[in-house]
Chains A and B, each alone.
Chain A
Amino acid sequence: MSSNDASNDANNDSASRALVRGGATLLSASITGLLLGAGIAWIVGNSMGTWLLARSAGITAYVLLTIVTLTGLWLSHPKRYRWRRPSPPTRIRIHIVLTVFTLVFLIMHIVALVMDPYAKVGWTGALLPFGSEYRPLPVTLGLISVWAGLIAGITAALAGRMGRWWAPLHKAAGLTWVLAWLHSVLSGSDTAVIVVLYIVTGAMVLGMAIWRYSAKTPADAQAEFHAEVTR
């Protein structure tokens, strides 16, 4: 009996700690977004500040998400054991840390856009599909991308509590990246350099995904062996 109570306590304890950590991250990202936006606005001296922040945070979030996606594909690649460094636990940690950074820049991106009266996105655009006055479809794609990302991220973060369903749900991460790419291309293609960025990162993720999904998995090898030893 006592051991059960203790393990429940420990569970609740770590759950509340995780909640506090997550809340603190979100809050600080929001405040940073606001302060930076205000700061840049104050320095630049016009209302371009928040917009600049929104663009740069958005691009940064996209680049980070691309790296997260690439590390994720590598983490699940059947041939990953060929690389000794970084060590397997470190790889997972890198993947998680990059995800948190992506989240931080994403929140800065959203908060800055909501705060920017010229962007015509507003809270409705940030939270509801087709709620944006500015390019409703691309903004909605971004919104769905965020939802898919939250499903992939939150379920993985809760893996120890909610169980093994995090793994199939983690496939939503693929949707996150694809939608984020579309969102970026459709709502933020204003200079040639940016277009090159989208093409290069798109090719990288596509190539990595092909490499990952064309490789023989342990399950494939098992099935082959299974067939070989079945009479």
Chain B
Amino acid sequence: MLVDYFVLSAPAGQREDYNAHIQRNGVLERCDRSLIDAVAEVALTGRGGAHFPVARKWQPVLEAMPTAARLTVVVNAAEGEPSSRKDAEIMRRNPHLVLDGAVALSQSLVTGTYAAADIVVWLHEGDDISLSSIQRAMTERASLDEPPMRVMLAPARYVSGESTSVIRAVQSERRTGKATAFPRFTPDPARPWIQDDADGNPILVHNCETMARIGQIARVGALSYRATSLVTVTTPGGLRVLEVGPDTTFATLLASLGVVTPSAVLLGGYGGQWVEWLRIADLPVDPDALRTHGLSLGAGIIIPLAPDECGLRKTAEIASWMAGQSAKACGPCTFGLPAVAELMEKISHKAKSRDLRELREVCGLIPGRGACRHPDGTVRMVISALEVFAEDLDQHSHKHCLAHPRKHRR
């Protein structure tokens, strides 16, 4: 079955209010340690892109809880990338599932009587439909005995969605009344809330889809978990969000959307990697299966290269956009990404071997040297382009292009 659902229970274009939600999905259960076990059992991974095991992220929180005054659970629904829309789709159609996840999670982790929990939904400014949907959902469940919930608006920038940005915003708002959102160096990555100027209370950030899945697992348990995937596919008609079963292949997915077979796809979005179509066509759209092939679904973003598009040109455009999205806080990102973008731009016109050598050298200087993963993803995407479009690179060195065979490039 191509289209399956575990998360998007509401039909496309419809919003499920609280009553409809309870009728279709049933009441929330397992707001205790059994949720933690169930999530560990299905080996749920984070859907913000990193696919880190969710239950493992909770261990440091559980350790910190006995001495903590409160736990803040954050739903990260700030999709910074223009080619991603799955989280917005969940917020619009199934806002209650997301809040269920946050409620069940905070009640499972906060067991002592000392600590209180609160819930924050982190949303991009300007996403008014999601905003009104989630605010209505909060009003609809105001009478329930649940932790206090509120929306915080993130500046509409790519790096606002980095979890360290979210934590910085929550902490700075608590300290100064104003929320500042950009990535921050975390001395202890397992406990990202530990900062010199913060109060030491744990802040747990999960992607919107991850949180919705936690909400469903709380309801149905590990046995009835369905390992579906939410994907955003870029099609000629715009972005399409689908929830697909683990047996769906990329070939059937694109065929169902009427997308012409591409030569390559950008998997995982702007910070993901280019993959040859022949390598990926018959692989299932499933994070676990892809991992065994050394690939990552990232945040479920799939960008097929259109037939008249030049992969190198597209890469140059994305690299330039990513360079512009840098918070310019760390040297290697501030100086490295513009250098990468500029070289990629040159190469997309004429691939001189000198520029290529230079590009590879600069790419080697960036990964792992910033406070967040923004530069690493950009470099990964560019390096994958050089491999996947190697043949086109050869054409470009003679000022030709596979996408525009007749036309001489400028």
Contacts and interface: CB of A to CB of B under 8 A. Distances in A.
B155 interface: yes
Interface string A209-223: 000000000100110
A87 interface: no
B39 interface: no
B334 A229 contact: no
A83 interface: no
Main secondary structure of the interface of A (DSSP, over half): helix
A228 B155 contact: yes
Given A229-B157, A229-B160, A231-B153, A222 B328 contact: yes
B179 A231 contact: yes
Contacts of B331: 218
Contacts of A226: 180, 182
Contact of B180 (A81, A218, A221, A230): A230
A229 B328 contact: no
B181 A229 contact: yes
A221 B182 CA distance: 13
Q: Which of A222, A226, A229 has the most CB of B within 10 A?
A: A229
Nearest to B327: A225
B62 interface: no
Interface string B208-231: 000000000000000000000000
A225 to B, nearest CB: 6
A74 to B, nearest CB: 17
Contact of A231 (B157, B178, B334, B335): B178
Interface string B312-348: 0000000000000001110100110000000000000
Interface in B133-167: 153, 155, 157, 160
A81 B335 contact: yes
A229 to B, nearest CB: 5
A170 B153 CA distance: 43
21 contacts: A81-B335, A218-B331, A218-B334, A221-B328, A221-B334, A222-B328, A225-B327, A225-B328, A225-B329, A229-B155, A229-B160, A229-B180, A229-B181, A229-B182, A229-B327, A230-B172, A230-B178, A230-B181, A231-B178, A231-B179, A231-B181
A88 to B, nearest CB: 11
Interface in B268-296: none
Given A226-B182, A228-B155, A229-B180, 8 more contacts: A221-B328, A225-B327, A229-B157, A229-B182, A230-B172, A230-B178, A231-B153, A231-B155
B329 A222 contact: yes
A231 B182 CA distance: 12
A222 B329 CA distance: 6
B214 to A, nearest CB: 27
Interface string B173-193: 000001111100000000000
A228 B328 CA distance: 13
Pairs A-B, 9 closest by C-beta atoms: A230-B180, A229-B155, A229-B181, A229-B182, A231-B179, A230-B178, A221-B328, A81-B335, A225-B327
B178 A225 contact: no
Contacts of B155: 228-229, 231
A145 B181 CA distance: 46
A195 to B, nearest CB: 43
A52 to B, nearest CB: 49
Contacts of B180: 226, 229-230
Nearest to A81: B335
A221 B334 CA distance: 10
